[in-house]
Amino acid sequence: MPIPLKAGEVLRGRYKIRRIIGQGGMGSIYLADDLRLEGRLCALKEVEHDRSLPTDLLREARDQFLREATVLARLDHPNLPKVSDFFSIGSHDYLIMDYVPGKDLRTLMLEAKNAGTFLAETDVLNWGSQLADALTYLHSQDPPILHRDIKPSNLKLTPSGLVKLVDFGLVKLLAPGEVTITVLQGQGTALYTPLEQYGGDSGHTDARSDIYAFGSTLYHLLTNQPPADARDRFLDPDTLIPPRQINPGISVRTEKAIMWAMSLHPDDRPQTVEMFRESLLGSYQPVPRMPVRPGSSITPYIYTDPERALILVSAGLTLLSLIVTLAQFP
């Protein structure tokens, strides 16, 4: 574990540490004063690389940090904290981001749970719509950017009602034709992580991985209970309790959308964040390819429009061939 920065310590002659506000296996986040811009508070994220890595891999990890920090610094969206600076000191790398005041959604959920109630579905869907805005923006970048660690504690609600998706610790850039790259090695938080993400960087993750975590986050916020781990669900599908069995006040529509997003196979989930948003709030009716009954291996196949057209053409050609054949006989 790295030695924590001390209160009053100044980095790069500009960022004065106040206190630690978050900590994980890959580093810590500190609240700091920006001495160059009077009155500005910022979040300083310290990145600790695995020192057991061979020298060439450690150098590549540092290069990755610089490349991807450059990309993050270009992002500009109201539901994302702005990355304003990045630098390295010794064996440590640092990201400087806007400090986001307010409570995270996990704290709000726990407050509701302790009061013996649930968060209002209308509030959760409003927050979800804002999260969809942030993810759509990230996924539309060139190359697309995945967050890979969406969960209630990484969503902060500002005093003005704005939701911010924070902690870019596992952000991943999707480079065309290449194995994807991660700023910090890691797999996300187990309860919200899809199966394909357990392979680390050797696993294939794309926008649908964020959609799984998105659905899992809404599940937790609306039920006060974390969803079953994807690995447990793979062994026993019944471990995931439908949300309405826990909170009957949830609408059928919302439950269907969440269960769709949490499908184990990426192909069975909404293929885009906008599709998931529409299933939650718009006119789109989710039609997940789910087992006929829990635990069943029989899956109904849902034909796409091109497949239906191909079937009709094939049937027409078969019928025409039969007519021609019969016409040859007197």
pLDDT digits (tens, 9 = 90+) for 127-156: 999 999 999 999 998 888 888 889 999 999
> What's the confidence (pLDDT) of residue 203?
55
Q: How far is CA 235 from CA 170, 190, 230, 239, 269, in A?
A: 27, 15, 9, 9, 19
Structure tokens at 232: 């447990």
Is there a catalytic annotation at residue 34? no
> What's the confidence (pLDDT) of residue 301?
34
Model confidence at 26, pLDDT cuts 50, 70, 90, reads: low
Question: Is 293 within a domain?
Answer: no
Looking at 75, 98, 121, the residue that finishes a domain is 98
> What's the confidence (pLDDT) of residue 149?
85
CATH code, domain carrying 214:
1.10.510.10
* Shared-domain flag, residues 178 and 269: yes
Query: How many domains would you assign to the chain?
Result: 2
> What's the confidence (pLDDT) of residue 130?
96
DSSP symbol at 295: T
User: What's the CA gap between 214 and 71, in Å, rounded?
Assistant: 23
Q: Which residues contact 184 (CB under 8 A, 6 or more apart)?
A: 26, 27, 47, 169, 170
* Shared-domain flag, residues 142 and 223: yes
User: What's the CA gap between 9 and 181, in Å, rounded?
Assistant: 32
CATH code, domain carrying 91:
3.30.200.20
pLDDT at 306 over 50: no
Pairwise pLDDT comparison (179 vs 288), residue with the higher score: 288
* Shared-domain flag, residues 210 and 161: yes
> What's the confidence (pLDDT) of residue 2?
64
DSSP symbol at 246: H
State which residues form the domain around 54.
13-98
Report pTM. 0.77
Q: Which of 34, 133, 149, 167 is catalytic?
A: 149
Peptide bond just before 2 cis, omega within 30 deg? no
Question: Is 32 within a domain?
Answer: yes
* Shared-domain flag, residues 277 and 131: yes
> What's the confidence (pLDDT) of residue 145?
87
Model confidence at 295, pLDDT cuts 50, 70, 90, reads: very low
